[in-house]
Every structure is written in C-alpha cells, then in structure tokens.
Amino acid sequence: MPRTSPTVRRRRLAASLRRLRRDAGKTREEVADYVGCSPVTITRIESAQSGARVGDVARMLELFGVDGQEKDSLLQVAREARQRGWWQRYTSAMPEWFSTYVGLESEADSLRGYDVDVIPGLLQTEDYMRALLSSSLQPVAAEEVERRVEVRKTRQADALDSDTPPKVWQIVDEGALRRRVGDVDVHRDQLERLRGFSKLGNVTLQVLPFDAGAYVQGAFTILGFAEALDPDIVYVEYPTGALYLEEPDEITTYTLVFDHLRAAALSPSRSLALLSDIASALR
C-alpha cells in the first residue's frame, strides 16, 4: 500500500493555488473577496499553514478559470489534504513544528540525513529513546516519555516496515556512537540495533570518523518525494523549533554538503566494522 500523507497533499495544493492565482493575475484580497474569507486565510492556505475547505478550493478554481481534469485533480488533492494522518492522534506528545515533519516523512520516498550528537530517531531502540528523553534539561513526566516513545516506534514502523519503505541514507558522526546514552547495556543494544538496520535493503549507514577532520555542520535531513509536484525539503531542527527549507538554492547547497559528508565518511562495510569494534569494547 502506498505511503500517503495529508501534510504532503496540503503542501502540493498550496503550491498549485499560489501558482494559479499568480497566473490569473489576482491578488490575495481579490481571491478572499470572491471566496468569502479574509486575506489572511488565503495567505495561510497558500503557505500550507492551514488546510482549505473543498468548497473554498472549488470557488478559487472557478475564479482562476480552471476546469476539466485539472480541476478534478486539485479537488481530489484538497479532499486528501483534509484527511487525518496517524500522527495526529499524538498531537499532545509532540510540538506542531515536529508534527509537520512527521507528516512529510510519512510520504517521503527518500531520507538523506546527517546526525552529530545522537543516533537519529528512526534508528533508535526503545531504551535509548527513554534514556535520551529522560536526560532532557526540561523534566518530562514518565507518561509523556512513553507517549513520545510510542510516536517514535510508530514512525519506525511506518518508514521501515511498510510495503513501500523510503530509501534511507544516514550518516552518523562517530561521536554519536561513542557518547553514552543510558547504561552500558542500553548503549551496546543500540549499537547492535544499528548493525541490524544497516543490513536492511533500504537503509545505507555510514559513519563520519574522528580522523575525517573538522566538519562544522549541524544535523539535517533532506526529504525527497516520488512525485515531481512535491520538491525536496531540507529539515533543520533546533531546541525550540525547526526550519523547513524549500528554495532550490537551499536544496542544492544541502545536497552538496551531504555529498561531501558521504565522501568523507567510512564506507558502509567499514562503518559496520567500526560499530562492531565499539560494541565489543563495551563488553
């Protein structure tokens, strides 16, 4: 079954409506007046900050002179954009800016990422997750920890156990492998799980070793999509939020950075050997 996401549909609809409005030579104020809403609502729809009612989309398309198959296709996208994704039942367990990422990840065709300090969420064991969440500077209640663990487990199942899993190419800094999160058993089990993930057909794992030299680069993920209508997005997280970079020059820059990191990292087989060495030393 294909992996679909209302978040991706909303983003696609926003880009199409924005383009059609500009092609029709209409202002947001004119569209709002025709539809019967405020200009702010049109701005939020065109920026994918909020969904659009199917009836409002139909009115907008009427104003833009869109009919036939293009109209039918966009109205279908509008319907799909209003569906609920699995992650929306966990809204209390994650901030809105991360909920957006999970929605995008749920339909991504490829995930290319680099992590510096910790093992990436998609590849974490449950105990590693708990230890990491419990070490937060802001105290997290035990029940909240378990809800967040459940979210990460569901993400893993959605991305790695689905019928059509994305291609995952993950580069992890050596420091993330050696940094202790939890006790020795938790650390060792996490490294063993990474070895298991690296053997999946859709996962490529590389380690950027210490002796690669200085790489002043924070963590990021490039999300790619199968549909040409859905261009790549770069996701950059910081302690209180995240950036979603979509401009072509930004995508090009981060793709180049990823390619440099990939070239400097150990090969998948040597990365696997290093994982084994670090895990063995823990015994």
Q: pLDDT by residue (tens digit) across 20-46? A: 999 999 999 999 999 999 999 999 999
Lowest mean per-residue pLDDT among 131-135, 164-168, 241-245: 131-135
Q: What is the mean pLDDT of the chain?
A: 89
How distant, in Å, are the alpha carbons of 45, 126, 190 from that of 75? 14, 41, 45
pLDDT, mean of residues 146-159: 87
* DSSP β-bridge partners for residue 234: 222, 245
Lowest mean per-residue pLDDT among 27-31, 137-141, 217-221, 245-249: 137-141
Confidence check: pLDDT of 136 > 80: no
Domain 6-81, CATH class in plain words: mainly alpha
Phi, psi of 234 (to 5 degrees): -105, 130
Equal fold, 6-81 vs 90-282: no
- Any idea where the domains of the chain sit in the sequence? 6-81, 90-282
Q: Which fold has domain 90-282?
A: Endonuclease; Chain A (3.30.870)
Strands 220-224 and 233-238: antiparallel
pTM for the full predicted model: 0.82
What is the pLDDT, as a whole number, of residue 102? 87
